[in-house]
Structure 1
Amino acid sequence: MSEPPRFDRGHTDDLMSFLAASPTPYHAVANAAERLEKAGFRQVAETDAWDGTAGGKYVLRGGAIIAWYVPEGAEAHTPFRIVGAHTDSPNLRVKPRPDSGAHGWRQVAVEIYGGPLLNSWLDRDLGLAGRLSLRDGTTRLVDVDRPLLRVPQLAIHLDRAVNSDGLKLDKQRHMQPVWGLGEDVRDGDLIAFLEDTAGLPEGSVTGWDLMVHPVEPPAYLGRDRELVAGPRMDNLLSVHAGTAALIAAAGRGSRLSYIPVLAAFDHEENGSQSDTGADGPLLGSVLERSVFARGGSLEDRARALAGTVCLSSDTGHAVHPNYAERHDPTHHPRVDGGPILKVNVNNRYATDGSGRAVFAAACERAGVPFQTFVSNNATPCGTTIGPITAARHGIRTVDIGVAILSMHSVRELCGAKDPFLLANALTAFLEG
């Protein structure tokens, strides 16, 4: 194994800034694109003809981004090395008719997205962010990053059994946030407020994709600041590490033997079946067009994909000190123990023995330790974009990630070193 990398807290500081600046998938891809632009990548439009010139390129589509770097001398059949991730997180999303209220309270009607820990959204200061679609066909990002909404919990005096019988939340009745007072609730109030906030003319917004987010910033935690608490680590931690790894790999230029790729998808938390999800055509289209732009044929495409490997990077479960019995007794991933290799023989994860070898080799080159995760046999296993990517594109795929606590909470917890170790492992993988 190579010498282990010296821990750089600057990487984790940068992750915390990225999390705070990315309250929605749309903001996350915009921030990733900005970093790529500074590193010399350029955006290409899907509606334009592509050329096969060397250099860094990226495609944005909604809440997804695909970026790749073509080294000098790359052939049409040169394989890809892909870091896969997702940009979405479980949260509360605004309904088409957002204005509601009762008993003198003004509320915002929300729908539950994905599988959040609902209780973690109670009694928190919440902002509102997302994408506004305008009458002229353009879009505008908006972020009200101040205390604007709150989902108030029922007082214990009115629910005496809550601590003995457990908190029971009805997704429709109990999760609608308040954002003011008033008896006269009018359709259009929330959107008018956002138009004014964004400096847009009244009536210019005709569509929206809006979601609620906590405004409390990420923070170091613990005696020695060895932990990080923050929102949306699942899975912006991987998006951030993958972006950093792609930029670092691109710095090697013509020395690369693969074409490094970052594929960060939307909608993983609700099944990935969308035009911007891993089960959609976006990644396959980009890879194919990249081959054809370099003068390749269908035969070259087949050869390139046959040699391609994808690391599907997503957060996983660290052993919980209060619930250790919920974990497999022989697999207890720890925070700051290095990235985890995720295995499930029923293909909820895509890792097999040959994929393990690829990841182990990358970690060895990077000097990064890694751990293995499997679920307790009595507990259903989650899944990722890994099996979808493998099945849809015929690409060898390996599921990995960083071990965290409080997954799907409004505020998750990881080790301060693990994001840095993951980025180093991903860089070694992309460099080949």
Structure 2
Amino acid sequence: MSAQVQVQDLLAFIDASPSPWHAVSSMVSRLDVAGFSKLDETEKWALKPGGRYYVVRGDSSVIAFVHGQKPLVETGFKIIGAHTDSPGLRIKPNAAGWVDGLVRLGVEVYGGPILATFTDRDLSLAGRIGYKDEQGRIASRLVKFDQALLRLPNLAIHMNRGVNEEGLKLHKQLELPLILSAIAQEQLPQPFFLSLLAQSSNIEAERILSWDLNVYDTQKGVIWGAQQEFYADSQLDNLASCHAGLSALLDEAVLQADSTLVCAFFDHEEIGSESHKGADGSFLPDVLQRIAAAADRDDYQRALARSFMISADMAHAYQPNFPNAYEPDHKVIVNKGPVIKVNANQRYSTESVSEAMFAGWCEQAGVPYQKYSHRTDLPCGSTIGPMTSARLGIRTVDVGNPMWAMHSIRESAGVFDHDAMIRVMKRFFLDS
């Protein structure tokens, strides 16, 4: 599959996944087609060597694995970890309010988005609703508005003369509510909003009890550049890494590997991962222990000691318009290969041995690689790598593909880097 075809598939995946709940649903669809079986955490598991399985927790985290033919104590686990969530805006519970003839939706900031990039975009809603079914049981259902539904209009420059010199600054409480509609004053905004949810979900408004709704950009992803060498979409951080990991796992040669292979994709990374389905929770340890249920505790610990994890999260590409934002000797360039991320304070989990191992897999796959270190005078972000490595005691490397405008509603990256990352992840899974 060519690099362009890989990226077209990535963009289709992202455009079908405007929320972490939709992202997991999209991945589950691909796993089903590849012959994976769904496991229920409330039931007893009967795993077979060579079996393909996946587990979903909380609708927005998923762990897929191939049960190896060889004993775990000989091979350990080969794990790729990434996250399904992206920073942005979430709709509040009592969402709709009426002011001066307009209905606005109140929002809460999720993670650390670049808020200015949400202005003047064709926005809509996607996520899940909680409702009471016809038998009175609590259930959830995905919901997505395909049409442009919301907008955050900018203030005209005539009323904000310093915007080009001082930057656009939005008050989170007062200036982020999104315009939804113009309705008569006698209509109640919240019932009006509930009626929209009912139409989209085919569930009566009176049965809708709650929601997790993500604001998303309706503009589709594109390949761009004079040589079509770049691509742009929302949520590249970090659905691009999820897509790369899943694509590697579903490769036919990889599926025949003797080792136990795991892809773990978690929600809530952008807000610290501390939840029942986040990377700092019990989800991955629970699944690994159940995979190794036939082994005694000593063999399980021996298996962990032989294990390795690639923590995949996008990296900061050098942007020549802002040279002072980067460490001068660690500029990573779009389309020059995957990035190994290093931080002495363990904001990234990489250490010299795991760094060398990933570099070796890149060389075996014929893939160039780069190394990134953050400016010493700027705070460095983190990933799921350090917390997962610490919790499990597994050697880990933090890597990612270079991208521009991380946490913007419209991010960009390199076509050839995505293909390269998939290739090195395949090499990692196939390494004996």
TM-score by length of 1: 0.95
Q: Which residue of 2 aligns with 1:216?
A: 219
SS at match of 1:47: coil
* Separation in 2, partners of 1:175, 1:101: 15
- Does the aligned pair in 2 maintain the 1:229–1:413 contact within 8 Å? yes
Q: Cα deviation per residue 1:354-394 (whole Å; 9 max; x = unaligned)?
A: 10121012112211111000011111111100111111111
Residue of structure 2 aligned with 1:83, choices 76, 80, 84: 80
1:71 Cα deviation from its structure 2 partner: 2.6
Residue of structure 1 aligned with 2:48, choices 44, 47, 53: 53
* Separation in 1, partners of 2:72, 2:331: 43
* Separation in 2, partners of 1:208, 1:274: 18
SS at match of 1:146: coil
Change (3 A) 1:250 1:32: farther
SS at match of 2:381: coil
What are the equivalent positions in structure 2 for 1:349-368 lying under 5 Å apart? 349-368=348-367
SS at match of 2:220: coil
Q: Which residue of 1 aligns with 2:66?
A: 69
Mean Cα deviation higher: 210-219 or 96-105 = 96-105
1:153 Cα deviation from its structure 2 partner: 1.1
Mean Cα deviation higher: 326-335 or 70-79 = 70-79
Give the counterpart letter for 1:59 in structure 2: V
- Does the aligned pair in 1 maintain the 2:3–2:418 contact within 8 Å? no
Give the counterpart letter for 1:15 in structure 2: L
Give the counterpart letter for 2:24 in structure 1: V
- Does the aligned pair in 1 maintain the 2:78–2:308 contact within 8 Å? yes
What are the equivalent positions in structure 2 for 1:70-219 lying under 5 Å apart? 70-75=67-72, 78-135=75-132, 136-182=137-183, 183=185, 184-219=187-222
Q: Cα deviation per residue 1:199-257 (whole Å; 9 max; x = unaligned)?
A: 1223121121111100000011111111101100000000001111111166442x42x
* Separation in 2, partners of 1:403, 1:161: 32
Q: Which residue of 1 aligns with 2:335?
A: 336
SS at match of 2:204: coil
State the 4+ residue runs in structure 1 displaced beyond 3 angstroms: 73-78, 249-252
* Separation in 2, partners of 1:128, 1:414: 25
What is the count of residue pairs matched by the alignment? 423
* Separation in 2, partners of 1:75, 1:168: 53
Give the counterpart letter for 2:291 in structure 1: S
Structure 2 residue 13 is matched with structure 1 residue 14:
no
SS at match of 1:132: strand
1:408 Cα deviation from its structure 2 partner: 0.1
1:28 Cα deviation from its structure 2 partner: 0.5
- Does the aligned pair in 1 maintain the 2:254–2:429 contact within 8 Å? no
* Separation in 2, partners of 1:140, 1:94: 16
1:75 Cα deviation from its structure 2 partner: 4.3
1:29 Cα deviation from its structure 2 partner: 0.7
- Does the aligned pair in 1 maintain the 2:349–2:389 contact within 8 Å? yes
- Does the aligned pair in 1 maintain the 2:342–2:350 contact within 8 Å? yes
* Separation in 2, partners of 1:336, 1:103: 49
Q: Cα deviation per residue 1:7-35 (whole Å; 9 max; x = unaligned)?
A: 43211110010010000001111111111
Q: Which residue of 1 aligns with 2:417?
A: 418
* Separation in 1, partners of 2:127, 2:341: 32
* Separation in 1, partners of 2:344, 2:10: 33
Give the counterpart letter for 1:125 in structure 2: D
- Does the aligned pair in 2 maintain the 1:56–1:250 contact within 8 Å? no
- Does the aligned pair in 2 maintain the 1:118–1:169 contact within 8 Å? yes
Change (3 A) 1:77 1:191: farther
SS at match of 2:32: helix
* Separation in 2, partners of 1:101, 1:222: 43
Structure 2 residue 34 is matched with structure 1 residue 44:
no
Q: Which residue of 2 aligns with 1:3?
A: none
Residue of structure 2 aligned with 1:31, choices 26, 30, 47: 26
- Does the aligned pair in 2 maintain the 1:146–1:215 contact within 8 Å? yes
Give the counterpart letter for 1:213 in structure 2: Y
Mean Cα deviation higher: 352-361 or 209-218 = 352-361
TM-score by length of 2: 0.95
